[in-house]
Chains A and B, each alone.
Chain A
Amino acid sequence: MKQDLATSTAEPLGLLRTADRTGLPLLAIRIILGATFIYMGTNKLADPIAFMKAVRQYEMLPDVPGIYLNLTAVVLPWMEVFAGTALLLGMHVRGAALAIIIMLAVFTPAVYLRALEIQREAPQSFFDIQFDCGCGTGVEVIWKKLISNTGLFLLALGALVSKSRRFCLSMFFERRGAPTRFCHFCGFAVQRERAGLCLSCATPPVLE
């Protein structure tokens, strides 16, 4: 990873890369995703049985044997809480982002298909469909939920590919005992420095 970070500094900086270097986009993503998933996870933890029944409505897992459904209802809320906490703290950011991507990639199409099923059984405008999707936020208007999930998915993708570790707790641990020196501003490995900052941060603009 360090090698990856080091080589990245040599790459030409595009607009996104420049923005990523500030660490602010990732920080915003971490706060939004982290808070959202901690909130949704704790809501599910408050009533795991309701969550189990909600998961069952998608018919992705068999009723018998019940262990798959039961295990999903027990573990998934904690997975969300752990992923959210990891993002907020800035530890294992990529793993947390990947976990969120997988969860959203599974449940968003499931919610969509369930909405279509409801529409088929009780014909109505798609924009009127609302039900408790088991997302931890109660009864929701489904088209809004789908858009919000897509947004969260894109944010998680952003967190996955971001190379910045500024404002991340993991940076603190990586620096300790690591032979490579890291820029105090962007968090990237320092190849050449100027005034305590890596060359990428120091020029331009010149901060001397």
Chain B
Amino acid sequence: MTILKQAFVELVLLTLASIGVALAANGIRERKSIDLTKNYFELGKGGSNKAGVAPAANSQGSAVGSAVPQKTSPAGQVRAASPDMPETPNQPLANAATASAAPKKHLEHDFQSIILAEVREVFEDPQTKQGLNIFVDARDEEHFAEGHIPGAIQCFPYEIERCLDRVKAAAGGAEKVVVYCGGGECEDSIFMCRELTEAGVPFEAVYLFEGGWKEWSASGLPTEGAE
């Protein structure tokens, strides 16, 4: 009993010290600090707030508002629908499912989904070079530096204050704002879409590329960065 009592008292001391230092360190760190009161995983406009939805339900939900039908694999992976597109090989996707072995647990959302074939069309559209279509990479700076879609603007939704003005300025007159992240189980692009719509970017202009960097890089399309 004495042991437990002593342990409990010491545990309280350690906990208080940890909380104090943690809050102080979180407050002064320049990057990747966490805003304690922010609901990072809440979907405002453009989506319900139901987490942990089965992949199939998610992909159906995400099709709302999309003008182009899309194929979805049983694993919930959005695939290229166009026959002339180099469809993402099955192997990397299968590997992704077993290597990380964590099936997608996407939030249910109503953002317009866009598939690889359409993303390529947007990418090759002459208007893109004029800045009328933009790509937003919702991964962190490290992953962005390793490789990204050419011309994409990096903006991590958890550090939105660092880049929102830049993205808003670019998205101001854009017809299409294609948002992507790592692909697979990554949900950062969904939260980036939320940030954009909350910042005033028209909901109709925002497109979510769920296949993300994983699908883009596997398809042999142009990339920029270290890769």
Contacts and interface: CB of A to CB of B under 8 A. Distances in A.
A124 B40 contact: no
Contacts of A161: 3
B53 to A, nearest CB: 12
Q: Is the interface of A mostly helix, strand, loop or mixed?
A: helix
B5 to A, nearest CB: 9
A1 B2 contact: yes
A57 interface: yes
Interface stretch (A20-28, A75-83, A181-189): A75-83
B52 A59 contact: yes
B91 interface: no
B39 A99 contact: no
Interface string B1-44: 01100111111111101110111011000001111111111100
Nearest to B41: A63
A53 to B, nearest CB: 8
Question: Which size bracket describes the interface of A in this complex?
Answer: 35 or more
B105 A99 contact: no
Question: Which size bracket describes the interface of B in this complex?
Answer: 35 or more
A50 to B, nearest CB: 8
A63 B49 contact: yes
Q: Is the interface of B mostly helix, strand, loop or mixed?
A: helix
A8 B101 CA distance: 50
Given A75-B18, A78-B18, A79-B18, A130 B11 contact: no
Contacts of A146: none
Given A48-B32, A74-B23, A78-B25, A97 B7 contact: yes
Contacts of A129: 101
A64 B32 contact: no
A205 interface: no
Interface of B: 2-3, 6-15, 17-19, 21-23, 25-26, 32-42, 49, 51-52, 55, 75, 97-103, 105, 140, 158
Interface of A: 1, 4, 45, 47-49, 52, 56-57, 59, 63-67, 69-71, 73-75, 77-79, 81-83, 86, 92-99, 102, 118, 121-122, 124, 128-132, 139, 160-161
30 contacts: A48-B32, A49-B32, A49-B34, A57-B105, A59-B51, A63-B42, A64-B49, A65-B37, A66-B38, A69-B40, A70-B40, A73-B34, A74-B36, A78-B18, A78-B19, A79-B14, A82-B21, A86-B14, A92-B10, A94-B7, A95-B14, A102-B11, A121-B103, A122-B75, A122-B97, A122-B98, A128-B98, A131-B100, A132-B100, A139-B99
